[in-house]
Structure 1
Amino acid sequence: MNLLLIRLIIFAVLFFAGFKLYRMYREWKLDREELLEDDQKNEGGQMVRCTWCNVHVPESEALRDKGEWFCCSAHRDKYLEEQKEE
């Protein structure tokens, strides 16, 4: 009877330790995935709006001239020409 009780206690302790390790691993994995998702979201940079056509483009791909953002050089040129005429 004593040996059965000792085995049961050892099994319970091993089960509890294994469960705790599994939960720690799962939390570590979720934290790691969140960090990777945050890095991927920030990879493109902040989105800015083209002054000419109002299309949103990543800041890294946009052109900036005189404090205004543009999606391409053609829109920048059109906007600057329009500003000169006024």
Structure 2
Amino acid sequence: MNLLLIRLIIFGLLLFAGLKLYRMYRAWKLEREELLENDPDQEGGKMVRCTWCQVHVPETEALRDKGEWFCSSAHRDRYLEEQKPDD
């Protein structure tokens, strides 16, 4: 009888500890997701393709000229030079 009671107590303690650990993990996971959700560095944005080199860059960092997107002013200038009609 004493052995059965000891086993039940141990089982109860293990169950309690397991539930406590699960709750701690769930709270940690929710906090982490909330931090990642509110982190401005993780915030994405619309990506656009450079007309000259076809590289994708964030829209906030891209340059736009005549309806086309460019990753740098050098690529914009080279593209616009090519588009000029030859006289």
TM over 0.5: yes
Q: 8 Å contact 2:52–2:79 — kept in the other structure?
A: yes
Q: CA deviation at 1:58?
A: 2.3
Q: Percent same amino acid at aligned positions?
A: 60
2:53 is paired with a residue whose SS is coil
- State how far apart, in whole Å, the 2-side matches of 1:46 and 1:28 are: 32
Alignment partner of 1:69 is 2:72: no
RMSD: 3.3
TM-score, normalising length from structure 1? 0.62
Segments of structure 2 that go 5 or more residues without pairing to the other structure are: none
TM-score, normalising length from structure 2? 0.62
User: Whose helix fraction is larger, Structure 1's or Structure 2's?
Assistant: 1
- State how far apart, in whole Å, the 1-side matches of 2:15 and 2:57 are: 51
1:2-52 Cα deviation digits (max 9, x unpaired): 5x5444433322210210121233344345269638x58843533321101
Q: How many residues align?
A: 84
Segments of structure 1 that go 5 or more residues without pairing to the other structure are: none
